[in-house]
Structure 1
Amino acid sequence: MTLANRFVEPVVLQRGGLRLEPLALSHEDGLRAAAADGELWTLRITSVPEPEQTPTYIEQALQMRDAGSRIAFAVIDEASGRVLGTTSYHDIVPAVDRLEIGYTWYAQSVQRSHVNTTVKLMLMTHAFETLGCALVGWRTDNFNFASQRAIERLGAKRDGVLRHHALRRDGTVRDTVMYSMTAGEWPEAKAQLLYLLGKPR
């Protein structure tokens, strides 16, 4: 296995009744249903695919995996088998043991639940403790305040803002807020996430 492939090697992660498995075309119907829960594609600050664009969305993720820059996961509720959404490792830079976590979205009915915290705990544990990452990063739209709060709740540090950085789906140009966490910061962040998940919900 090459150094680059180490980061995109297929893996299944499980915790707290959730399973992350590599996104595949077989997840199309489930992903389409998750996006329909809240009509998430209507939000200008996200990249959730419109229903007819779901196959293309998955195919693009697979192409990026082949290129070594991204591995996308389907988020599955183990009890029901329902697809709750998706998340990815992306912008992978093997030479410096860095990757970002993003392309994350969930059905509206499971937002603001334990799902995101559990998923991020799985991804961060695998990134730092198995893949040996030195740093994990996040990026989000400057107007996506809910996403910024969720990232900060993980214990990530706000690095700054990239101005006039990327196109939104409506053709406007967004500023991008960047966050990161180092391997040295991970143990304390992990302890806090475990504590949060142990609290009554």
Structure 2
Amino acid sequence: MIRVLPVTLEFNGLRLEPLAPHHEEGLRAAAMDGELWKLRVTSVPEPHAAGQYIETALEMRDRLAFAVVDARSATLLGSTSYHDIVPGVDRVEIGYTWYAAHAQRSHVNTSCKLLLLSHAFDTLGCAVVGLRTDCENFASQAAIERLGAHKDGTIRHHALRRDGSVRDTVMYSILRAEWPAIKSALHERLERHVRS
């Protein structure tokens, strides 16, 4: 049975550290880079609500939220989480992921996913890692599919968006047996990024 405990993870110039109140200013700045809170299909906090975002994340019993930090400059780039943790079946999900506009379409998301997936499968011993996204968040769906995750289906009329509308949720998963090939593909993608 898995035990998901706070941990700091580092790789490829990035550090994932447990989200804490002292990250509020950096989280606010990251959200302002691209006015990401205006997107109805993401979980990015409005700048004035960065403190509440952190507080809510810390109160959730089945979520371990991380600050995504550029290890060289100590600049906060965004946030990601393990959530919907189900120890009885050795399952976690990765989500609540967002990055400042300048960090998007870079090595950041691939590196973070590699860190979180490696920790989940290789350290925690997860049997499966899930990912989910809004049915209208096509960029997120494409990013998850590029990871090599299996599309499990859509849960209709599943969750509220920030604007009060109800979304369908697209569910994905990666099984432990699929992880070695996905891990290799992610490393290759990062190597290509360095060469380009």
TM-score, normalization by structure 2: 0.97
Quote the Cα distance in structure 1 between the aligned partners of 2:157 and 2:6: 34
Counterpart code for 1:59: E
Counterpart code for 2:63: R
Q: Pick from 29, 50, 57 the counterpart of residue 53 of structure 2.
A: 57
Listed as ranges, the matches of 1:89-100 within 5 Å are 89-100=82-93
Q: Deviations over 1:69-124 (max 9, x none)?
A: 01000000011100000000000000000010000000001101110000000000
Listed as ranges, the matches of 1:171-186 within 5 Å are 171-186=164-179
Aligned to 1:146: 139
Counterpart code for 1:115: V
Aligned to 2:123: 130
> What's the C-alpha RMSD, in Å, of the aligned pairs?
0.9
Q: Report deviation, 1:52.
A: 1.4
Counterpart code for 1:162: I
Aligned to 1:35: 31
Quote the Cα distance in structure 1 between the aligned partners of 2:186 and 2:145: 12
Quote the Cα distance in structure 2 between the aligned partners of 1:52 and 1:32: 7
Structure 1 segments of 4 or more deviating over 3 A? none
Q: Report deviation, 1:47.
A: 1.4
Quote the Cα distance in structure 1 between the aligned partners of 2:6 and 2:161: 30
Listed as ranges, the matches of 1:34-113 within 5 Å are 34-64=30-60, 67=61, 69-113=62-106
SS at match of 2:187: helix
Counterpart code for 2:37: W
Structure 2 gaps, min length 5: none
Identity of aligned residues (%): 65
